[in-house]
């Protein structure tokens, strides 16, 4: 399996510190040696770096971890190819990125959906895989659902998006294990199917207090990380949970028209 890491913060926070903590698990202290990737946001655009080499041996990742890069939203991933026939390749390395509605959408997955690949992508779908993995195909299915389900309305909220993808997420998780993190730069949309943990931090800086939520497949530190409930969907924005255990906070994003069938690739 793979490992996920993500961050949502109320103020731009250093990304490199968390990458440095994840690195050893990519081939040194853990078996996830088939690639690494990280995406962090600058406004609506994601900067995506990835390489199909062991994270623990990557000079590129080490250099990136040393940079004073700051962001309010970040997703990282270390990969263990399963099945191994879909081996080390850039196209198979998470996180995956697509554009929709004028934003970079980024997705990373931990788990295995072996029966999904038998079905493949619908030929008329806007979103097509570049690689061979079930993970990227699942991402395309979710984006199909978003583009087809939200339609022509001018605005949508995080709850609308969760309601839009819930049916396709339920279908996909029936194929196997489906822990994932999806982001549009504003929010982290998190599905904890079997194994995902979270940690809340409050960081005091010279510019004030920053709220932060960290998410990881396995806890990175000795702090009191908590497991998310299996089968649950959560949304985090600016270091707070806005969909999940707490009441939904209002937020709206512009919509665009879409003609893609919901779940067309299933």
Gap between the Cα atoms of 162 and 235, Å rounded: 8
Instruction: DSSP for 209-237, please give it.
Output: EEEEEEEESS-SSSS--EEPPTTEEEEEE
Q: In what order do the strands lie in the sheet with 3-14?
A: 45-51, 36-42, 70-78, 3-14, 208-216, 197-205, 226-227
Catalytic hit among 2, 140, 141, 187: 2
> Which two tokens mark 170?
């339920």
Is 2 a known active-site residue? yes
Instruction: DSSP for 136-162, please give it.
Output: HHHHHHHHHHHHHHHTT-SEE-HHHHH
Q: In what order do the strands lie in the sheet with 240-243?
A: 96-100, 103-112, 177-183, 188-192, 232-237, 240-243
Q: At what angle do helices 134-150 and 158-173 cross, to 10 degrees?
A: 140
Backbone torsions φ then ψ of 69, nearest 5 degrees:
-85, 135
What does DSSP assign to residue 26?
A: B
Catalytically annotated residues: 2
């Amino acid at each position: 399996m793979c490992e996920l890491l993500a961050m949502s913060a109320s103020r731009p926070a250093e990304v490199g510190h968390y990458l440095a903590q994840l690195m050893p698990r990519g081939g040194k202290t853990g078996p996830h040696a088939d690639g690494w990737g990280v995406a962090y946001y600058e406004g609506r655009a994601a900067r995506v770096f990835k390489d199909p080499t062991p994270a623990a041996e990557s000079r590129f990742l080490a250099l990136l971890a040393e940079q004073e890069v700051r962001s309010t939203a970040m997703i990282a991933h270390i990969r263990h190819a399963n099945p191994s026939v879909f081996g080390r390749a850039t196209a198979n390395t998470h996180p995956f990125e697509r554009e929709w509605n004028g934003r970079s959408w980024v997705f990373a997955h931990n788990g295995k959906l072996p029966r999904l690949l038998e079905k493949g992508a619908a030929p008329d779908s806007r979103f097509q895989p570049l690689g061979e993995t079930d993970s990227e195909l699942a991402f395309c299915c979710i984006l199909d659902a978003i583009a087809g389900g939200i339609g022509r309305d001018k605005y949508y909220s995080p709850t609308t998006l969760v309601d839009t993808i819930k049916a396709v997420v339920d279908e996909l998780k029936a194929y196997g294990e489906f822990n994932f993190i999806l982001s549009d730069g504003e929010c982290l949309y998190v599905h904890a199917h079997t194994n995902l943990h979270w940690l809340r931090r409050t960081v005091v800086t010279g510019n004030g207090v920053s709220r932060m939520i960290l998410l990881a497949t396995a806890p990175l530190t000795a702090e009191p990380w908590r497991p998310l409930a299996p089968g649950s969907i959560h949304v985090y924005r600016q270091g707070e949970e806005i969909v999940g255990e707490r009441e939904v906070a209002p937020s709206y994003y512009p919509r665009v028209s879409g003609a893609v069938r919901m779940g067309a690739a299933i």
